[in-house]
Amino acid sequence: MNPKSPLDELFRRKLANFEMLPPDTLWENIQLERSKQQKTALKWWSPWAISAAVLLTSALLYQQFNKPLDAINRDIPNSKSNLSYLENQHQHHLPSKESINKIIIPISRKKNDKKRMNQTSVPQTSAMEEIFTPLQIMPDPVQETSEIKTEVKSSFSSFSALSGIHITLPHELSLYSEYLPVPFKKKLWFAKIDFLLSQDVIHNTLISKSATFEEYAALRNKHEDLNRSNSFMIRMGISTIKGWGLRSGIQYSRMRQTFSRQMPDASNTITRNTFETIDIPLILTKEQMVGKLRIGLSAGTYLNMTFNQKGSFYSPTGSLIEFTSSKPGSYPAFKNRLGASLYNGLTLSYPIGNSLEFMAEPYIRTRIPSISADDYVLDQKIWYGGIFIGIRKQIGKGFYLP
Amino acid sequence: MRYLNIASPVEDYELVRGCLREDRKYQEAIFQRYAGKLMVVSLRYARHRMEAEDILQDAFIRIFDHIDQFQGKGSLEGWMRRIVVNTALKNIDKKSFSSEIIGLDNTPEDNPGALPSVFPQLHEEELLQLIQQLPDGYRIVFNMYAIEGYSHAEISDLLGIQESTSRSQLVKARKMLQTQILKIQKVAV
């Protein structure tokens, strides 16, 4: 205790709990000053900074997540390197003069082979000839891959071997956390959990890797579209009182594709395909209160954990090719893991109860790499758009980071 | 008495939680509950009322901006008082602590802490005026030592002055206050 004189003590006693009114305008001035601060809190360069950070993070993650493919291929004994394998495949699918002369097209060669027609479910020969006349000079991937079955298998085994990487993913994620911008240290953080469902619209584009398959790509673009998808996501997030937050979790999406092809003989062939993905979102958000409504911008990357496919599509020659990933011997038209995709969303949430908010998050997302296998003749790019609807729950009362 | 005597069952803890959510209702409740007391703190450090209002406004903005840094270890009022004091000290010129009042050394010092008989009758507003009339250095040190309870070492750290300077400023502040009170006593008699 400080030695106090009676003078000090009496000043302290008289003034310690004494109150005097501030002017009425003071509270209004405080509100006015704070609203000015909040308006300028989101600087003009913030969206650019967020975008730059997201792009940088995505590039780093994409680069890092694609590394193991080469590493694994190198580790597989007696298998060709990924690069030389792809080169061979690419050359293989570009028709040389010899290969065109040698092409065996089932439709033209086995016109009267009814047994085969039944087995392969290929429509009537005359119909197929009309549809696929321009495509007849193209090599049939199914026919041609019979020569290199061993190599295709090695490609499959290399993708399958990638599944082993999944186990190390949480560790890898922790390594990337240092790249994520965290603007505040030792501040109060809030933990929140989101349960979200969405109905998505998907746009699917097939692009030929060489001029030979441009018509084939155009034909499939005309008849195919991944037009429906549903997603379910559980997402945990931490955010500061200033509205900066990081969110991550797991998202399951199921895309359904139904397309029909009208044959010249008026018969319809309907194909139903299903694609399933499991992704881990890594999202940076900046939120701002507008009255009771919380509005936020979200941007980030999705890391694909697994991609399963079930169904079939038509080859350039019109034969039906099954690509079901779980079925041995199916044609490996797709990758088993899709790398990174970019995500942008607008988060809107409104309090509906104790620590509970109703959420809606319109979003767009694009897969950066093609979803088709590297050695397939077409690149397949996907865009998603939709709206997540769900509930956000705050966990606890907040916490301090060490 | 618009802001005073608020009978509210809401605990400080609840008010802080509301402020963390940037809920204006809770911010206003904190303002209503503590603005009166903090105004007096501000008046003690300021030269005049207008300066005190500016200090209080800045302090409340800092309080709401940094409410997440209140860890609940002490009382909310104590934490807010410290912010008001720090806001007031922000613009203090160090030269204030070297100024000397001519003639002050000639005042009687036989009992520097003695309490003039008129003191108990002085109103709080009069005491505030007496403090406000002190030169900047005297006023700051007297407030920090006598009322806030800081030690000379802490005052030295906070203000960036020598401990001996803090001591001498306190002694001179007391002398000056006594002189002023004696003047009031003479007028009263």
Global ipTM:
0.82
State how far residue B30 is from chain A, nearest Cα, in angstroms: 11
Nearest-by-Cβ selection for B127 from A4, A11, A400: A11
Could you tell me the two tokens for A74?
């190198």
Distance from chain centroid for Cα A57: 15
Q: B166 by DSSP, 3-state: which?
A: helix
Residues B137, B154: Cα–Cα separation, whole Å? 15
1.10.1660.10, 1.10.10.10, 2.60.40.10, 3.40.50.2300: which CATH number matches B94-188?
A: 1.10.10.10
State how far residue A33 is from chain B, nearest Cα, in angstroms: 8
| Secondary-structure class of domain B12-90 per CATH | mainly alpha
CB-CB neighbors (< 8 A) of B37 in chain A: 17-19
B 77-136 → A contacts, CB under 8 A:
112-115, 119-120, 122, 124-125, 127-128, 131
Instruction: Give the CATH fold of the A48-400 domain.
Output: Porin (2.40.160)
Q: B181 by DSSP, 3-state: which?
A: helix
Share of chain A above pLDDT 90, in %: 15
Residue A56 amino acid letter: L
CB-CB neighbors (< 8 A) of A7 in chain B: 113-115, 119, 146, 174, 177-178
SS (H, E, C) chain A: CCCCCHHHHHHHHHHCCCCCCCCCHHHHHHHHHHHHHHHHHCCCCHHHHHHHHHHHHHHHHHHHHHHHHHHHHHHCCCCCCHHHHHHHHHHHHCCCHHHHHHCCCHHHHCCCCHHHHHHHCCCCHHHHHHHHHHHCCCCCHHHHHCCCHHHHHHHHHHHHHHHHHHHHHHHHHHHHHHHCCCCCCCCEEEEEEEEEEEEEEEEEEEEECCHHHHHHHHHHHHHCCCCEEEEEEEEEEEEECCCEEEEEEEEEEEEEEEEEEECCCCCEEEEEEEEEEEEEEEEEEEEEEECCEEEEEEEEEEEEEEEEEECEEECCCCCEEECCCCCCCCCCCECCCCCEEEEEEEEEEEEEECCEEEEEEEEEEEECCCCECCCCCEEEEEEEEEEEEEEEEEEEEEEECC
pLDDT of residue B82: 92
CB burial of residue A31 (10 Å; 0-12, 13-18, 19+): middle
Closest-CA residue of B relative to A34 is: B61
Nearest-by-Cβ selection for A16 from B24, B147, B150: B147
pLDDT-derived band at B36 (thresholds 50, 70, 90) equals very high
State how far residue A175 is from chain B, nearest Cα, in angstroms: 29
* pLDDT over threshold 60, residue A71: no
Whether the full predicted model's pTM is greater than 0.90, yes or no, is no
Residues A159-178 have pLDDT tens digits of 334 344 333 333 444 444 44
* pLDDT over threshold 80, residue B55: yes
* Domains in chain A: boundaries: 48-400
Residues A300-354 have pLDDT tens digits of 999 888 888 888 877 777 777 788 888 777 777 888 888 888 999 999 999 888 7
* Residue extent(s) of CATH 1.10.1740.10 domains in chain B: 12-90
Kindly list the residues of chain A whose beta carbon comes within 8 Å of any beta carbon in chain B.
2, 4-8, 10-12, 14-24, 26-27, 29-31, 33-34, 37, 187-188, 240-241, 289, 397-398, 400
pLDDT-derived band at A284 (thresholds 50, 70, 90) equals very high
* Residue extent(s) of CATH 1.10.10.10 domains in chain B: 94-188
Is residue A296 within 8 Å of residue A246, measured between CB atoms?
no
Phi/psi for B162 (5° steps) reads -70, 150
pLDDT of residue A240: 80
